[in-house]
Amino acid sequence: MEKAPINWVNMLLFSITPALAVTMVPLYGYFYGFEMYDWIVFIALMAFCGISITAGYHRLWSHKAYRAHPLLRIIFALGGACALQNDVLNWASQHRRHHQHVDDNQRDPYSAGRGFWFSHIGWILRNYESGAMDFSNAKDLQRDPVVMWQHRNYLTLVLTSNIALPAFLGYLGGDIIAGLLLGGLLRLVLSQHVTYLINSAAHVWGRQPYSDASSARDNGFLALVTYGEGYHNYHHTFQWDYRNGIKWWQFDPTKWIIKSLSFLGLTTELKRCSFAQIEKARLAMQYRCAAEKCELLDIPESWQLKLENEYEQLQHTLQLWTERRQVWYEAKGKQLQDRLDDLGQLELLQIKDHYKEVQFQFKAQRRRWKKLIRNLATSMAEPA
Q: How many CB atoms sit inside 10 A of residue 55's CB? A: 28
pLDDT digits (tens, 9 = 90+) for 295-317: 777 777 777 788 888 889 989 88
Q: What is the pLDDT of residues 145-201, one digit of tens each?
A: 999 999 999 999 999 999 999 999 999 999 999 999 999 999 999 999 999 999 999
Q: Which parts of 200-237 fold into alpha helices (H)?
A: 220-225, 232-237
CA atoms within 13 A on the CB side of 276: 13
Quick check: 343 pLDDT over 60? no
- Planar angle of CA 257, 258, 259, nearest 5 degrees: 90
| Sign of the torsion angle spanned by Cα atoms 24, 27, 31, 34 | positive
Return d(Cα 318, Cα 367) in angstroms, integer. Answer: 13
Q: Please determine, for residue 383, whether its predicted confidence score (pLDDT) is greater than 60.
A: no
Per-residue pLDDT reduced to its tens digit, 262-273: 999 999 999 999
Phi, psi of 127 (to 5 degrees): -90, 75
DSSP H or E stretch at residue 300:
none
* Half-sphere exposure in the Cβ direction for 61 (13 Å, CA): 33
Q: What is the DSSP letter of 378?
A: H
As a whole number of Å, the CA-based R_g of the chain is: 25
Q: What is the mean pLDDT of residues 213-231?
A: 96
Distance, C-alpha 91 to centroid of its chain: 15
Q: For residue 96, how many other CB atoms are within 10 A of its CB?
A: 18
Distances (CA, A) of 103 to 62, 98, 112, 114, 225: 18, 8, 6, 8, 24
The C-alpha atoms of residue 125 and residue 9 are separated, in whole angstroms, by 8
CA distances from 214 to 120, 273, 303 (A): 17, 19, 29
* Cα–Cα distances in angstroms (integers) from residue 355 to residues 83, 103, 238, 323, 333, in the given order: 48, 42, 26, 9, 15
Please tell me the distance from the alpha carbon of residue 384 to that of residue 378, in angstroms, as a whole number.
12
pLDDT at 371 over 90: no
- Write the pLDDT tens digit of every residue in 83-116: 999 999 999 999 999 999 999 999 999 999 999 9
Max distance between CA atoms of the chain, in angstroms, equals 82
Any residues with CB less than 8 A from the CB of 209 and at least 6 apart, and which? 218, 233, 234, 282, 285
Strand 267-268 to 67-68 pairing: antiparallel
Whether the model pTM is above 0.85: yes
Query: Does pLDDT of 340 surpass 60?
Result: no
In the chain, helix, strand, coil percent, each to 5? 70, 0, 25
Distance (Å, whole) CA 115 – CA 207 = 19
